């Protein structure tokens, strides 16, 4: 692991995951944010292109919270959409050429994955309001439950390489 990389495992908790991702982004100012989450109904990997300011949990999170039609960020407009900053079409093309079984999605759900993604995008936008040159690559990858760990780790490595090339102007 390089000294420039920071990894964190976030809890399946609306409040704790949101707080932790915002803290990490505020303190670390990362160039790339890769969030991963399990999509129980997925058969392919899904690159999520947006998050919605709405939590609507069909089951409680690990803290027992089950928000129903509640904004993720109270100060933002309910149902506001924030677009991820990954170049999703370019990533899909490159990753498909590398034989990854991947598709685009514009629906990150309304559970902790979407809430964390929305909070990350909101936090980078808030920082960007004060630091105009701060434009991190922020995105979310949903993982199907049946995929082997090696396959998933190879995919994440390819995403890192592609985003690093994008940032350096070689993508």
Catalytic residues: 48, 113, 142
Q: Report which of 123, 117, 114 is spatially closest to residue 23, judged by C-alpha positions.
A: 123
- Residue 92 sits at the vertex; the CA angle it makes with 82 and 79, to the nearest 5 degrees, is 15
How many CB atoms are located within 10 Å of the residue 169 CB? Answer: 6
Q: Which helix (H) or strand (E) holds 161?
A: helix 149-167
Beta strand segments in the chain, E: 32-38, 45-48, 50-52, 55-56, 68-70, 81-83, 102-105, 137-143
Q: Which two tokens stand for residue 18?
A: 């949101």
Angstrom distance (rounded) from CA 48 to CA 33? 13
């Amino acid at each position: 692991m390089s000294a420039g990389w920071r990894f964190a495992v976030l809890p399946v908790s609306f409040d704790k995951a949101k707080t932790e991702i915002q803290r990490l982004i505020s303190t670390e100012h990362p160039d790339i944010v890769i969030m991963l989450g399990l999509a129980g109904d997925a058969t392919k990997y899904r690159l999520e292109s947006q998050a919605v300011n709405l939590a609507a949990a069909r089951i409680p999170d690990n803290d027992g919270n089950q928000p129903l039609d509640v904004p993720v960020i109270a100060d933002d407009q309910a149902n506001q959409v924030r677009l991820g900053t990954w170049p999703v079409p370019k990533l899909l093309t490159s990753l498909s050429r590398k034989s990854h079984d991947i598709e685009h999605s514009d629906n990150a759900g309304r559970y902790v994955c979407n809430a964390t993604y929305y909070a990350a995008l909101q936090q980078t936008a808030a920082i960007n309001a004060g630091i105009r040159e701060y434009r991190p690559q922020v995105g979310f990858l949903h993982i199907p439950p049946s995929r082997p760990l090696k396959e998933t780790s190879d995919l994440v490595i390819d995403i890192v390489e592609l985003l690093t090339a994008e940032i350096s102007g070689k993508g």
